[in-house]
Amino acid sequence: MQYKSQAVAMPYFIAAIGLFVGQIIFGLILGMQYVVGDFLFPEIPFNVARMVHTNLLIVWLLFGFMGAAYYLIPEETETELYSPKLALILFWVFLVAGAATILGYLLVDYATLASMTGNDLLATMGREFLEQPLLTKIGIVVVALAFLFNITMTVLKGRKTVISIVLLLGLWGLAIFFLFAFYNPVNLVRDKFYWWWVVHLWVEGVWELIMAAMLAFVLIKVTGVDREVIEKWLYVIITLALCTGIIGTGHHYFWIGTPEYWQWWGSIFSALEPIPFFAMTVFAFNMVNRRRREHPNKAAVLWALGTGVMAFLGAGVWGFLHTLAPVNYFTHGSQITAAHGHMAFYGAYVMVVITIISYAMPILRGRAANSEKAQVVEMWSFWLMTIAMVFITLFLTAAGILQVWLQRISDTPMSFMATQDQLMLFYWMREWAGVMFFIGLLTYLASFFIKGEAKTAKA
Amino acid sequence: METTSTSLPHGAAGHPTPAAEPRLAGDLAIWVFIMAELLAFGAFFAAYAFTRANNIELFNAEQAGLDRTAGAINTILLLTSSYFVVRAVQAAELRAARAAANWLLAAIVTGLGFIVVKLGEYAAAFAHDISLSSSPFHMFYLSLTFFHFMHVILGLVILVAMWNNARQGRYGPGNMNGIETGAAYWHMVDLVWLILFPLVYVIH
């Protein structure tokens, strides 16, 4: 560890992994509820479990992004964090607020939670992914602003690199677009229109900048390739991401009551969204092939390469599958969307956060890399989780194709629920793949506790 | 391959390295970007052709309402501007910084001419209540030309930066990457218009 203040990243990474475990447990509960409808009812209804599953995902990724920023910004700027103390205070505020929100979802019914938390003052709740009570939303903004203040001040007083500028741009974008969570117009079309400015412009816009910056940082460290080369790639990737992703928002505007030209704009621009992800794949492999050193942390290199491949498959290929308006006319809101959502989030954001944790954690614990034994276990967890996610995606895709066929294309279309009965086999297989993913996650946890001779070579 | 590349006469007058290996002009990054741009325009052109095939009469009727003279003037302006940029690159290679800057200024002025003509066309279109939703043809006409229009503006910003660098004598035989990179982008903007103009304004 080159800078003392980088240590604040550690609690963020630990919290991220802890919440990740929670997310997967709720994923397993949900998968079970698909096949055994009243599983855990009425204690944990499906809608609550789903809310917890998706909200935990977002929160733990945010913990991961913040931890990544606290870790890499001091090294990039070659100066200590502006205020490590503020970073630690924000950690506890965010963790307590997050935990209280999840407990609120689980212990109180949603309508009561809404009235308890001031939703009648400014109604922002009840919308997918933005279910958080008003108080939590305000808390997120306060934490984000204080975090950005801390990071920005650090960058201002230190060396300015392309990686830190791109990361800052992404993080500021993340905070700014979240403000649309407070805008909840009565008109349902407008509501959906701006709702996507949070959801889409996060994951298919500014988050891509954060991801590319994190990946570039790790690649510089583990390959020793010239910063100039890596920065040029970074420029190309973020330009492509923004050029395709911003107007690509239109692929959500096909059927919500917006003008018809969105079908063209959305189809054409979003069809190009795989390009920046493909560039990231080429980037990762190219840099590793041109490496000038053999970094002792092989597991981190594996995660970095995995991110390149899985992000392209999940976000790029599975996104393209149903992004064209004439296709989406049939597939909209089916299990195909679920397949894409799972692999894209895992491939792009889960894996990039694990990449930086894998690289940084050993250093934060005082060694360049973990022991051979620990790394082997970590690589096992990589393959278990990644292959399980491929299976989850394939089973959901199969379910989606069958669903679209039975419910929307066939000459004698079936009702939604009758169709669901026909998909049970795939839902069962998805649940088993989920169990495999959970085993992979436990293996990942175990890798942190495996001793052995640590690698001491200077990172 | 080596013999052909050395025996081939290199086109541009005064090219100082006639025996050089074929090389990519400008930065590789701009070519990745140009390819992505061409893919986007290509997809849009294909969508236009596909939709037109199903609405030929409507497309022909509404196409007749476009100002072809303005389109032709703009074609000449962009081609001329591209030519000026070629001259600027050649001048820079010969260390003629002042000449390079002047050629770039000429390119900027002709580029601005394109913007003025296009704005006149848009004003006329909006006066006739033409909008993205008024018909499929108008949707394509406005989307394609506006998408290209934004590229012209970006290209002009790049040209101004190049002009500034050229005036300060930053380009020369050892340092052609910047000016060639910008020139490649400007030629791409020109190339797209050379397809867009006949496709949307002329062919029926």
The per-residue pLDDT for range B113-171, each reduced to its tens digit, is 999 999 999 999 999 999 999 999 999 999 999 999 999 999 999 999 999 999 999 99
DSSP-assigned letters across all residues of A320-389: HHTTSHHHHHHHTTSHHHHHHHHHHIIIIIIHHHHHHHHHHHHHHTTSSB--HHHHHHHHHHHHHHHHHH
Is A264 close to B133, i.e. CB distance below 8 A? no
- Residue A236, min C-alpha distance to chain B (Å): 6
Q: Say if the Cβ atoms of A268 and B29 lie within 8 Å.
A: no
Asked whether residue A432 carries a pLDDT value surpassing 90, the answer given is: yes
Alpha helices by DSSP H, chain B: 2-7, 28-54, 56-63, 68-93, 97-127, 136-167, 177-196
Extract the residue ranges of chain B whose pLDDT is less than 70.
1-20
**Which among A236, A260, A261 has the least Cβ separation from residue B32?**
A236
Mutation target for B interface from A268, A283, A320: give the one with most B CBs within 10 A: A268
Chain A closest CA to B118's CA: distance in Å? 21
User: What ipTM was estimated for this complex?
Assistant: 0.82
The domain made up of A1-160 has a fold known as Four Helix Bundle (Hemerythrin (Met), subunit A) (1.20.120)
Output the pLDDT for position B23. 83
**Whole-number pLDDT of residue A56:** 97
Could you read off the pLDDT of A412-425 as tens digits, one per residue? 999 999 999 999 99
Q: Hey, are the CB atoms on A272 and B36 less than 8 Å from each other?
A: yes
Compute the distance between CA of residue B13 and CA of residue B90 in angstroms, rounded to an integer.
8
Chain A residues in contact with B44 (beta carbon < 8 A): 264, 268
**Average pLDDT estimate for A427-454:** 95
**Stretch A121-148: mean pLDDT:** 96
Alpha helices in A108-133 (DSSP H): 110-116
Length of chain A (residues): 459
Alpha helices in A224-334 (DSSP H): 227-248, 261-271, 274-289, 298-311, 318-321, 325-331
Q: What is the pLDDT of residue A456?
A: 61
Residues in Cβ contact with A277 at an 8 Å cutoff, skipping those fewer than 6 apart? A311, A312, A315, A316, A348
How does pLDDT run across A151-185, given as a tens digit for each residue?
999 999 999 999 999 999 999 999 999 999 999 99
Structure tokens at B61: 């009727």
Q: What is the pLDDT of residue B19?
A: 55
Is B147 in the A-facing interface, judged by CB distances under 8 Å? no
Coil, helix or strand for B172? Answer: strand
Please give the share of chain A, as a percent, with pLDDT higher than 70. Answer: 99
User: Which residues, in sequence order, are CB contacts of A439 under 8 Å at separation 6+?
Assistant: A384, A388
Q: pLDDT digits over A14-71, tens only? A: 999 999 999 999 999 999 999 999 999 999 999 999 999 999 999 999 999 999 999 9
User: How far apart are the C-alpha atoms of B187 and B117, rounded to whole Å?
Assistant: 19
Q: What is the pLDDT of residue B199?
A: 96
pLDDT in tens, A367-397: 999 999 999 999 999 999 999 999 999 999 9
CA A9 to chain centre: 18
What pLDDT does A231 receive?
92
Write out pLDDT tens, residues A214-225.
999 999 999 999
Q: Which domains does chain B have, with CATH numbers?
A: 29-202 (1.20.120.80)
Q: What proportion of chain A, given as a percentage, has pLDDT over 90?
A: 97
pLDDT at position B32 is 87
CA distance A273 to chain B (A): 10
The pLDDT value given to residue A455: 64
d(CA A425, CA A409) in angstroms, rounded, equals 21
How many angstroms separate the Cα of A314 from the Cα of each of A134, A273, A318, A456, B191?
A: 32, 12, 5, 36, 34
Mutation for A interface: B55, B139, B151, most A CBs within 10 A: B139
* Cα A38 to the center of its chain, rounded Å: 29
- Residue A196: what pLDDT? 97
Grade residue A271 by pLDDT with cuts at 50, 70 and 90. very high
Which residue has tokens 């081609």? B79
B40 contacts chain A (CB < 8 A)? yes
